[in-house]
Amino acid sequence: MRLLSRKATCNTHGQDSSYFLGWQEYEKNPYDEIKNPTGIIQMGLAENQLSFDLLESWLANNPDAAGFKKDGQSIFRELALFQDYHGLPDFKKALVDFMAEIRGNRVTFDQNKIVLTAGATSANETLMFCLAEPGEAFLLPTPYYPGFDRDLKWRTGVEIVPIQCTSSNGFQITAPALEEAYLEAQKRNLRVKGVLVTNPSNPLGTTMSRSELNLLVNFITAKGIHLISDEIYSGTVFSSPGFVSIMEVLKDKKCENTDVWRRVHIVYSLSKDLGLPGFRVGAIYSNDDLVVSAATKMSSFGLISSQTQYLLSALLSDKKFTKHYISENQRRLKQRQNLLVKGLEKAGISCLKSNAGLFCWVNMKHLLSSNTFEAEMELWKKIVYDVNLNISPGSSCHCTEPGWFRVCFANMSEETLKLAMERLKSFVDSINMSSHQRLKNSRKKSLTKWVFRLSFHDREPEER
């Protein structure tokens, strides 16, 4: 008799991806400036730790919120008791207003159309349960966040079909790539229920162009399918071009109250923009009343605590603070990204031009021993075990071209980032030195053979 379920014993979670394996190696030997200065530096984790001081300063200046008080009176008991899964109205209002502020108030959001979830992971999975049956498919442009293989597929049974994007146009989505992915799904007898994109992109660190977004809207209109826009990095855009939300495109195309309007859904969280992944605050925004109703019921399996909602409601309602935080956080992200890019340049490494996110998409093709994914993994292992840097290989993001890596820059101090770049430069220098020595030895060997042949042919015939 089977004692455990198939789900408990299956191996489709994705935990064996090099993306997660790198984390495991880091946890065995984590870098610490004092306790373990030669340990592994974590550059595979997209956390925003650059603006904690701003949040801590607000907490210090607003002790009532942090102490669960209202007008000086404790509301601890009220918050400690059961709250229904619709969420606190004040928090939902503050969250949709914050989402609008990040988008320059070019669009607004209705708090009655938002569903609170325990992070974006829960939001994305909930949408899969709402929009697709097991064995149906969503199309995702490559490269994409490795965790989607877990979040979208593991419990839902939904399949992912990649939209193959390449470096030839900066990994932008094209009409032929969309059609090719759709046809590939049909060949596999998979019914396509929608497209999911991350904007800004993880792992590219780029915003989607308006033309790409228009292309997507036209595509889902023609196919009669859904579009999920994961916009959890929308507040991290630190340089032009600016962020364009899918809601702006729908508004510009006058799609309000149409079928397409109801088939577009947004995922958001405070994990990246506010740097609060531990608070587990995510959200689904949908114009489809049935999706909102079903997702709200499902949210009972992953609620946000009332204490968290109350605290963040007060913080996000402070418009003076949020305005300063958004601009200052973006300034710091740009400064830190520049530091990484310059450090990479000193090591002779380039990266895709980015304008958002907490990472860069780095090109290390010239360091591969061959143009293969096997060579990529060989290089990745050297960087993790010899250089003691954990970065994410492009293959874990389903990139079609070997040699790309995602490198995070916002989850460490400036001094740690500089040390990481020093380690990487020393590694590249050693590779270049070895290559130079091999080339020198090869030339020396060739020269010796040439001199030998020349002296042999110059002898008199009777001496041969």
Q: What is the pLDDT of residue 300?
A: 85
Query: CB of 237 within 8 A of CB of 273?
Result: no
Q: For residue 332, what pLDDT is reported? A: 97
Token duo for residue 290: 């049935």
Region of residue 55 (left: phi > 0; alpha: psi -120 to 50; beta: else): alpha
Which pair of structure tokens corresponds to residue 373?
């994914």
Q: What pLDDT was estimated at residue 453?
A: 59
Contacts of 240 (CB under 8 A, 6+ apart): 355
pLDDT of residue 461: 45
Low-confidence ranges of the chain (pLDDT < 50): 450, 452, 456, 460-464
CB 139 within 8 A of CB 178: yes
Do residues 209 and 172 lie in contact, with contact meaning Cβ atoms separated by under 8 Å? Answer: yes
- Sequence-ordered strand ranges (E) for 4-132: 41-42, 69-70, 73-74, 114-117
Residue 160 one-letter amino acid: I
Report the pLDDT value the prediction gives residue 199, as an integer from 0 to 100: 96
230 flagged as catalytic: yes
What is the percentage of the chain residues whose pLDDT exceeds 70? 92
145 carries an active-site annotation: yes
* Distance separating alpha carbons of residues 21 and 397, to the nearest angstrom: 13
For residues 424 and 387, the answer to whether their CB atoms sit within 8 Å is: yes
**Is 449 assigned a catalytic role?**
no
Average pLDDT score over the chain: 90
Candidates 144, 41, 40, 50; CA nearest to 337 is 50
- 349 assigned to active site: no
Given the residues 19, 145, 233, 285, the one annotated as active site: 145
- Among the listed residues 121, 22, 119, the one whose alpha carbon sits nearest the alpha carbon of residue 396: 22
Distance CA 339, CA 334 (A): 9
Catalytically annotated residue among 92, 153, 193, 272: 272
Choosing from 102, 114, 225, 232, the catalytic residue is 232
Beta bridge partners of 286: 265
CA distance 156 to 349: 40
CA torsion, ordered 153, 159, 164, 165, to nearest 10 deg: -40
Q: Are 237 and 201 in contact, with CB atoms under 8 Å apart?
A: no
- The C-alpha atoms of residue 197 and residue 28 are separated, in whole angstroms, by 33
Q: Would you state the pLDDT for residue 432?
A: 81
Out of 97, 149, 230, 273, the active site residue is 230
Question: Among positive and negative, which fits the CA dihedral 204, 207, 211, 216?
Answer: positive
pTM for this prediction: 0.89
User: pLDDT tens digit string along 413-457?
Assistant: 999 999 999 999 999 998 887 665 555 665 566 555 545 455 545
- DSSP codes, 239-291: SSS----HHHHHHHTT-TTSHHHHTEEEEEESTTTS--GGG--EEEEES-HHH
What are the chain's domains? Answer: 6-52+323-429 (3.90.1150.10), 64-320 (3.40.640.10)
